[in-house]
Chains A and B, each alone.
Chain A
Amino acid sequence: GENVEQHPSTLSVQEGDSAVIKCTYSDSASNYFPWYKQELGKRPQLIIDIRSNVGEKKDQRIAVTLNKTAKHFSLHITETQPEDSAVYFCAAWGGGADGLTFGKGTHLIIQP
């Protein structure tokens, strides 16, 4: 089955700086890569996703890049703000009966 590795487990950045979270996956058949944000005590919510036919996708301060050859994808947050503090999960979808496999999460801390 699919295996997703996510790094770092904790990331602390100064407000206004950029944050990058990286994930690797093992199954070359995976074709959908979402990112979820989970604020303390709340449910995970999708913030951005990318499909395997696209190399990069942006949505305001958030961007995701995908390198299919190297089997890794990254989340980039620019101009970080206090409300960006949360746990972020990457995931990969292998298709069919495999479901969605999540990384272990990154706790992003925005320092004032």
Chain B
Amino acid sequence: DVKVTQSSRYLVKRTGEKVFLECVQDMDHENMFWYRQDPGLGLRLIYFSYDVKMKEKGDIPEGYSVSREKKERFSLILESASTNQTSMYLCASSRTSGGPYEQYFGPGTRLTVT
């Protein structure tokens, strides 16, 4: 069974704080993704990574950065949190070879910025 875990289910931060969201997968997947989910807007891709130390911008990268120092771990960083970054953040992973393949999602982190 693929397991994708996220460091927190709920997080409350203040405007201007630096926020770290961490995602870990245990299936040796090459690809990892960060999405944000807002009502009526679906899932929007923030960043993704095909390999360690590699990253690609998604549709809404502004205000975010990412880090992938190890294959199993992909971090999303909000350099200076703002209220419009209040959202549900979902991490996902998938394998690559011969793909694309199913993306496995983590449970999500509901971030509130006050």
Which residues of A are at the interface with B, using a C-beta cutoff of 8 A?
A: 1, 6, 9, 32, 34, 42-46, 49, 89, 93, 95, 97, 99-105
A95 to B96, CA, bound (A): 11
Contacts of B48 in A (CB 8 A): 99
Q: How many A-B residue pairs have CB under 8 A?
A: 46
Residue on A nearest B6 in the bound complex, by CB: A43
A97 to B54, CA, bound (A): 11
Stretch at the interface among B19-27, B62-70, B71-79, B104-112: B104-112
A93/B100 contact (C-beta < 8 A), A1-B59, A44-B105, A45-B105 known? yes
Decide if B40 touches A104 in the complex (CB within 8 Å). Answer: yes
Top 3 A-B pairs ranked by shortest CB distance?
A: A104-B42, A43-B105, A102-B43
Decide if B100 touches A32 in the complex (CB within 8 Å). Answer: yes
Decide if B43 touches A44 in the complex (CB within 8 Å). Answer: yes
Smallest CB separation, B91 vs chain A (Å)? 10
* Interface residues contributed by chain B, number (CB under 8 Å): 21
Smallest CB separation, A90 vs chain B (Å)? 9
Residues 92-114 of B, flagged 1 when their CB comes within 8 A of A and 0 if not, give 00000001101101111000000
Judged by a CB distance under 8 angstroms, whether B81 is at the interface is no
Residue on A nearest B94 in the bound complex, by CB: A100
Judged by a CB distance under 8 angstroms, whether B45 is at the interface is yes
Decide if A102 touches B42 in the complex (CB within 8 Å). Answer: yes
Residue on B nearest A49 in the bound complex, by CB: B102
A45 to B56, CA, bound (A): 24
Residue among A43, A97, A101, A105 making CB contact with B107, cutoff 8 Å = A43
Decide if A100 touches B102 in the complex (CB within 8 Å). Answer: no
Decide if B103 touches A105 in the complex (CB within 8 Å). Answer: no
A42 to B108, CA, bound (A): 8
Contacts of B16 in A (CB 8 A): none
